[in-house]
Amino acid sequence: MGRRFVDQRRRDRFYRAAQREGLRSRAAFKLAHLAERLSLLSAGDRVLDLGAAPGGWSLVARDRVGPRGRVVAVDPRRIEPAEGVHVVHARVGDPELSARLGPEPFDAVLSDMSPSISGAYATDHARSVDLVRSAFTLAEQVLRPGGVFVAKVFAGDLVDELMDDLRPSFERLVRTKPPASRAGSSEIYLVGAGFRRRRPAAERPTPPTGAAPPRVPSHI
């Protein structure tokens, strides 16, 4: 660990707060902020946390959903066991994963997945967009209609196209950057609310003319 990195970290108020509060990651503050500001994750919700190690987001989610809820944390890296968090050691993109998650749908699918960093920004950006696409492919199988999708992505020229592809599947899709996300970091978060399960074109009814517009949650 370089001296500059250690100094920077010591000055970082979110890092210090995470240490003080015994949180597993400073990333926990990002989800806490998003959840608070956008009223995400309610008592009793079932939450799927992708790219969950070391477990900061999972603990924030667990505390929000309470004892009636459920948090399933997925990562190939080890996650220390925690009460109320069910760990699945797996890689998103593995075609067997959705079967391992069981038949009950989730109210929220979260992804804080990061690619291994190559150092070439265009490559890392493209990999991070691919991770969001993999998370969304899984969400399409396990998210309940009306559910919420939150995903981290590294900003860049592929994000507009990514959002255009995701937008039809949600009543509302926004991009945001929580305060705990370092100013110098390129990460942003996409938040989709009101998931619309898309059926194959052949099964879709022709929409009636004058149909009411879809309900959009007012808090996002």
- The set of catalytic residues is 152
Whole-angstrom distance, CA of residue 178 vs CA of residue 182:
9
- What does R_g of the chain's alpha carbons equal in angstroms? 18
Among 14, 15, 18, 25, binds ligand SAM (CB under 6 A): 25
* CB nearer to ligand SAM: pick between 28 and 194: 28
Q: Which stretch binds ligand SAM (CB under 6 A): 74-82, 117-125, 158-166, 194-202?
A: 74-82
Q: Which stretch binds ligand SAM (CB under 6 A): 5-13, 36-44, 107-115, 209-217?
A: 107-115
Q: Which stretch binds ligand SAM (CB under 6 A): 9-17, 86-94, 136-144, 199-207?
A: 86-94
147 phi and psi, to 5 degrees?
Answer: -75, 175
CB of 202 to ligand SAM, least distance (A): 31
CB of 58 to ligand SAM, least distance (A): 7
Whole-angstrom distance, CA of residue 74 vs CA of residue 131:
13
The torsion angle over the Cα atoms of residues 155, 106, 103 and 197, rounded to 10 degrees, is -70
Distances 92 to 12, 16, 51, 112 between C-alpha atoms, Å: 31, 31, 8, 12
CB of 140 to ligand SAM, least distance (A): 16
Examine residue 114 and tell whether it contacts ligand SAM (CB under 6 A).
yes
Neighbouring C-alpha atoms within 13 Å toward the C-beta of 178: 24
Q: What residues line the site for ligand SAM (CB under 6 A)?
A: 24-25, 27-28, 50-57, 74-77, 91-93, 112-114, 131
